Structure 1
Amino acid sequence: MRVLNLLLPILLIIGIVSCSSNVYYCNSNDPNNYCKDVIITQKEIGNWNQGNRGGAEYTQWEVTLENKLDFSLTQFYILRDYTLKIRDRKSIWNVQEIESTNNLILPTYQNSIGSKSNWIFGFILQDSEPANLTLEAISF
């Protein structure tokens, strides 16, 4: 009985924490696919050759994640690949990189993206082509 008295509060806390955020993994085969209403667009802001870096070509991109859903997102998980060749560590902003999962996520200073609103982040790439960015999951 004593173990049960210790275990019940722990189980209650676990239940509350697990209910506070729903993670939805994007699945185009799901007829209720929430991710179809979260749109990622990339816009080229400028490009240049940098002489002090051997004439390397760089392009600045602005990325907009638009939430068309009827509820706020508490997190997004954007899968990135080898095409996200950032110029240097200072050349990405308004987004957090998770190296272990190859994801870009909402930075810690932003707790959500409201319904019918958007989040803008950006980066400077070592190329003229946009990066491959795929919405992998969202939390709400």
Structure 2
Amino acid sequence: SFNYSCGPYTCDSKVEVCQSIYGINDGCIPREKLDVSIITKEINSWSENNNKENFTQYDAIIQNNVNRDIKQIYVYIDPKKFILRDNSSLWNMIPDTTKDNHLILPTYQETISAGKSFVFGFIIE
């Protein structure tokens, strides 16, 4: 677990998430009360270079559980664990150029509609 900034608040990553609606930070909320869930699913794993490099492919499903569209979402990634296999190993999300260690929706995905889900994928070491 680690602490991270949420506007004027500090959230504990293990039990809280930062919620921001219309660009206003509502603060840290307990994960169990989260309006949005992210579930990761392992798709495949393999080794390369005589078992010297191990890789795992995941799908991450962002589920919008509220009755309004999500116009942007920031997904924190742990830089010590989220080590991409190569530059083509992340799809349907892009690194945020304004916030270190965060992923955001790509320009072709303007929203996640109310009650819908969105899937992105990645391959990490």
**Equivalent-residue separation in structure 2 for 1:84 and 1:24 (angstroms):** 28
Aligned residues: 101
- Ranked by relative contact order (alpha carbons within 8 Å, sequence separation 6 or more), the top structure is 1
Instruction: Give the share of equivalent positions with the same residue, in percent.
Output: 32
**Equivalent-residue separation in structure 2 for 1:22 and 1:77 (angstroms):** 13
The equivalent of 1:116 in structure 2 is 115
Determine whether 1:62 maps to 2:63.
no
1:98 Cα deviation after fit: 1.7
Match of 2:78 among 78, 81, 93: 81
CA-atom RMSD, angstroms?
2.2
Task: Name the CA shift for 1:44/1:24 in 2 (closer, same or farther; >3 Å).
Answer: farther
**Equivalent-residue separation in structure 2 for 1:24 and 1:120 (angstroms):** 26
> Where do residues 90-105 of structure 1 align in structure 2 (5 Å cutoff)?
90-101=88-99, 102-105=101-104
The equivalent of 1:8 in structure 2 is none
The equivalent of 2:45 in structure 1 is 47
Look up the equivalent residue of 1:72 and give its one-letter code. Answer: D
Per residue, is there more strand in 1 or in 2? 2
> TM-score, normalized by length of structure 2?
0.73
Stretches of structure 1 that go unaligned for 5 or more consecutive residues are: 1-20, 127-140
The equivalent of 2:68 in structure 1 is 71
Determine whether 1:22 maps to 2:22.
yes
User: Which structure has the greater CA radius of gyration?
Assistant: 1
**Equivalent-residue separation in structure 1 for 2:24 and 2:59 (angstroms):** 25
